[in-house]
Amino acid sequence: MAKLVYDKTGRLLFTKEMKEEYTLLMPQMLPVHFGMMQKLLQNAGYKVDMLTTNHRGIVDEGLKYVHNDTCYPALLVIGQLIDAVKHGGYDPHKVGLLITQTGGGCRASNYIHLLRKALEKADMAYIPVVSVNLSGLEKNPGFSLTLPFIRKAVFAMMYGDIIVNVANQVRPYEVNPGQTDTMIETWSHKLVAGFEQGKGMSRRQMRSLFDQICADFAAIPVQGEPKIRVGVVGEIYVKFAPLGNNNLEKFLLSEGVEPVVPGLTDFIIFKIFNRVSDVNLYGGKWLKKVACRAFMAYIEGCQRDMIAALERSGRFRAPGTFQDLHKLVHGYLGDGNKMGEGWLLTAEMLELIHSGTNNIVCTQPFGCLPNHIVGKGMIRKLKDDYPYSNIVAIDYDPGATKINQENRIKLMLANAKGLAHQEDAAGHRESQPEVAPQLAHAHS
User: What residue spans define the domains of the chain?
Assistant: 16-144, 229-263+319-444
Residue 324: pLDDT over 60: yes
pLDDT at 427: 64
Q: How many residues does the chain have?
A: 444
> Quick one: fold of 16-144?
Rossmann fold (3.40.50)
The matching CATH number, chosen from 3.40.720, 3.40.50, 2.60.120, 3.30.70, for 229-263+319-444 is: 3.40.50
Residue 443: pLDDT over 60: no
Query: Which of these, 340, 377, 346, 381, lies nearest to 231 by C-alpha position?
Result: 346
pLDDT at 251: 97
Query: Which of these, 324, 327, 337, 409, lies nearest to 377 by C-alpha position?
Result: 337
Q: Between helices 31-43 and 179-196, what is the axis angle to 10°?
A: 30
For residues 127 and 11, is the Cβ–Cβ distance under 8 A?
no
The mean of the pLDDT values for the chain is 90
For residues 5 and 15, is the Cβ–Cβ distance under 8 A?
yes
**CA dist 122 → 66, 67, 76, 113, 427 (Å):** 11, 14, 16, 14, 62
Confidence of residue 436 (pLDDT cuts 50, 70, 90): very low
Confidence of residue 160 (pLDDT cuts 50, 70, 90): very high
136: left (phi over 0), alpha (psi -120 to 50) or beta: left
Confidence of residue 429 (pLDDT cuts 50, 70, 90): very low
Confidence of residue 434 (pLDDT cuts 50, 70, 90): very low
Fold agreement between 16-144 and 229-263+319-444: yes
pLDDT (average), residues 316-335: 96
Residue 367: pLDDT over 70: yes
CA angle (133, 213, 262) in 5-degree steps? 50
